[in-house]
Amino acid sequence: MTTRAGRVIAQAKINLMLRVLARESSGYHQLETLFARIDLGDVVTVKTAPGQRSLRCEGLAATAGAMGPPERNLAWRAAEAYAAATGFPSGFAIDIEKRVPVGAGLGGGSADAGAVLRILNALSPAPLSPAELLALAGALGSDVPFLTTESPFALAWGRGERMLVLAPLAARDVVLALPGFSISTPEAFRWVSEGLGWRVAQPLLIEADALGSWAGVSAIAGNDFEQPVAMRHPLIAELSTVLTGAGARIAQLSGSGSTVFGVFDAPPDRLALEASLRAPAVYTRTATRVVAVEVLE
């Protein structure tokens, strides 16, 4: 069999709105979220390798043991799931250049998994339909379906597998404030549950026009994880306040954290911002397109 390879930038995401809804009998929480991809992403390369399976990670956090065993890595699991469903490929070699902080609420691992699924589908002699590909993605995690699509902006609910694809908003500058610690997602869900006391989520009417402008999105922005996480980690609230004071239209936690992001209508004053932020900052922008898979010769 001829060896083939593909590469793509696995763009990370931020959650412009995130609500934790009802808990299923399985213990899993329903979610409602507004996803936006950003330009920051890992570089993922997949090569078909008959009879072999390997994963190599380099770059940010990859040498600190933060990636865990290969078999537990979402990118590895995505390749295994694709192979089990289609019989292709008979082996794979995955190479990831990490640029997205690990365990930061930016969906880096999920983006890598989505990238692997997209690459394998581009290389496959019998590619899956979009619906079939999303079914594989949904079994891997709630962020993976969105990060497997070719949409930079979407409203999602349930377990992330149901989505309304939206026209991307104009690109905006984004500052990612990185506190230097991770938040356990199961812990964050427990904190939210304790805080909500199983209250029914308040009704929310989202006008279609609101999702077509930054002003409209700003009006519905929020994250149910932020308050309970900030109660345990006060730096989260401090970072949000600093970003707001620097002119951010939206400043809040992404996912279950720990990254706090700010969306700016105009480029912020970096020197002034970094003098106030008690955390490293990464500068990027919201994405208006999803990077296409490059099939390598």
Write phi, then psi, for 194 (nearest 5 degrees). -65, -40
Active site annotation includes 13:
yes
Active-site pick, 42, 112, 143, 224? 143
DSSP codes joined into one string, 2-71: ---EEEEEEEEEEEEEEEEEEEPTTSPEEEEEEEEEEEEEEEEEEEE-TT-EEEEEEETTGGGTTT--GG
CA distance 275 to 229: 24
Q: Where are the alpha helices (DSSP H) in 87-213?
A: 108-123, 130-138, 185-196
Spatial CB neighbours of 187, under 8 Å, sequence gap ≥ 6: none
Q: 119 and 293 in contact (C-beta within 8 Å)?
A: yes
CA distance 151 to 147: 8
CA distance 273 to 44: 32
Number of C-beta neighbours around residue 212 at 10 A: 13
Helix (H, G, I), strand (E, B), or coil: what is residue 143?
A: coil
Catalytic residue numbers?
13, 143
